[in-house]
Structure 1
Amino acid sequence: MEFVRRLGRSPRERGSLNNGTCPDVFELSSGDFAVIGTDMTEALEGKLPPDAARANYERIVVVSRETFLAAKHDIPEA
């Protein structure tokens, strides 16, 4: 699996002052998406809706609204 492209603007283009370390969204060669965000599993797992769950290998990752909105125009419709 490979990173194909970034969705949205780079962290630096969004104003990150931390040498580009910031939430990010990527499309993968498999067609799936990868996100870089803050691991909030411990804080949010107990607040999941009753019909939601996560596997042991999954994490709850928070990505800023700004990052997702910046990626919106690059997310395919289908």
Structure 2
Amino acid sequence: MTTWISRRLGASPAERGSLGNASCPDLFELNDGRFAVIGTDMTAELDAALPPDASRAAYERIVVITRETLLRAKDDIAGL
């Protein structure tokens, strides 16, 4: 099965004030029900800070998005 982006959740980076595409965190819903996140890879900085009941596989990364990105997607997420 081929995976593709079904839709953006929340406002586009331009709607959030990104003029030069230098800071473009984003959230997407995929056709198979999963979600894709564009954010800053902070795995090295946050890996040791994970709570004891959390873990990640070697192929997973801890990705950070801005608060505004998530809050602007709130209505789309609530409608899922």
TM-score strictly above 0.5 = yes
**CA-based RMSD:** 1.4
TM-score under structure 1 normalisation? 0.93
State TM-score, norm by structure 2: 0.90
1:54 alignment partner in structure 2: 56
Distance in 2 (alpha carbons) for counterparts of 1:50 and 1:26: 29
Aligned counterpart for 2:36 among listed residues 30, 34, 45? 34
1:22/1:42 Cα in 2 relative to 1: closer, same or farther (>3 Å)?
A: same
In the alignment, the residues of structure 2 paired with residue 62 and residue 50 of structure 1 have an alpha-carbon distance, to the nearest angstrom, of: 20
Aligned identity (percent) is 64
Distance, in Å, in 2 between the alignment partners of 1:14 and 1:77 is 21
Count of residue pairs the alignment pairs up: 78
Kept after mapping to 2: 8 A contact 1:23/1:35: yes
Residue 19 in structure 1 maps to residue 29 in structure 2: no
What SS does structure 2 have at the residue aligned with 1:75? helix
Structure 1 moving runs of 4+ over 2 Å: none
Asked if the contact 1:12–1:20 (Cα under 8 Å) also holds between the matched residues in 2, the reply is: no
Tell me which residue corresponds to 1:63: 65
- Local SS of the residue matching 2:73: helix
SS in 1 for 2:28: strand
